[in-house]
Amino acid sequence: MTTEQLEFAQLTVLVVEDHSLQRRVLVRAFEMLGVGRVVEAENGAQALILLEDKDALIDIVFTDLDMPTMDGLALMRQIGMRAPDVGVVVLSSVERNLLSAVEWLAREQGIKLLALIEKPASRKPLVDALRLYGSLPSDLAPALPSIPLDEIAAGLEAGQFEAFLQPQLDFANFKFAGAEALARWRHPQLGLVSPAGFIKAIEESELVEPFSLAILRSAAWAVKWLDASWLPGRIAVNVSPAWLDQPTMSERFIQAVAQLGFPVERLMIEVTESAANSNLAAALENLARLRMAGFKLSVDDFGTGFSSLQRLVSSPFSELKFDRTFVTELVLGTPRWLVVESTIALAKRLGLVTVAEGVETFEEWQVLKDAGCDICQGYFTAKPMSQGDFMLWTKEHPNMLSETLNAEQWLTGHGKLEN
């Protein structure tokens, strides 16, 4: 058995395709790749029966869109409601802009969409989709939205919340540009809990400010370590939309940064696109005050909202950050590519730095680099890590400070490209 076959031996794949020959070809392809168990269905209704079978234990569904009885869209909606942990890959011959709409729909329905593959599917995208399922972040406990608010408050009081760091590298030469601070909760019983397990409850309560300040304090420690190590770069910190709506937010934030000795020039404040569009007057007042105080501001998750160009131009941002769902499956010549290329060009005219998060493949990195994107963030270069692991990571990558570092050499040296 090959290494690749061993890699997929534990997976159970469900193929949903109404065309019998195409279904058999796919089933055979997965069997040859070493997938441990492959089951099949002619339409969404049959697939749903298999998904609800507790003994089936489906890991990934590969589904067509246009099928009788229950099509792929209806099946995806049911997966989002009944089996959100199952990975989904869409296989279809529909036009590309329709696939983009399907991706948007999948995200809104809470579906773990792994890939959109155009028919006929070749071997490589199938392998990539299987590997992506296996490489999804495993360092986090499952989302636990039912954790009681008083338990979250106790965790904040006990100092259990901290900032993990995900490095950001320059697309052109892989120099270290900084890192994003990502909230994690070291729960004494549940282990490491992601924001999905607590952020909604926090933003609907009075805990939003103490939580934000706790992550800021943790990030400030990281900046002090960077300074002591003579490392350049900034730390990006997310500001909750719920806090941004409060009239005193900017004043409290500025005071906290001053008390922590956090150098203003080393801090990037990330604000989601939707946050800047919710309570516009309050948000803009706070953003303007923060900008006047010397902070740099980033439009986070750009591409997930519906802000107008006028709103983007009139807001005091210094950076634009593409959402990972906009980066995934970025292909030259597609409508998504044209939007990204045009937006990067516009950002440069406006003097904005551009960042792409969620970069997971060499192909995505190459397309964004060629488009002129400035900063890369994603599992392709480095995963989020504890501050201790981050310190080790920077020591293991001393060439990040080189002015002449060649990106292709970096990729080859770190196993991203073949020699």
Active site residues: 357
- Whole-angstrom CA distances from 247 to 193, 214, 289, 373 are 30, 20, 11, 34
Residue 315's closest CA among 342, 350, 346, 363? 350
Element (H, E) at 285: helix 280-292
163: left (phi over 0), alpha (psi -120 to 50) or beta: beta
Q: What is the Cα gyration radius of the chain?
A: 22
Residue-wise burial string across 155-178, b where 16 or more C-beta atoms lie within 10 A, e elsewhere = bbeeebbbbbbbbbbbbebbbbbb
Distances (CA, A) of 322 to 313, 315, 364, 374: 16, 17, 13, 11
The answer to whether the beta carbons of residues 180 and 129 sit under 8 Å apart is no
Look up residue 139 and give its two tokens.
Answer: 């360092």
CA distance 275 to 23: 44
Count of C-beta atoms within a 10 Å radius of residue 186:
15
Task: Compute the distance between CA of residue 417 and CA of residue 399 in angstroms, rounded to an integer.
Answer: 17
Under DSSP, the state recorded for 63 is E
Q: E strand or H helix at 62, and its extent?
A: strand 60-63
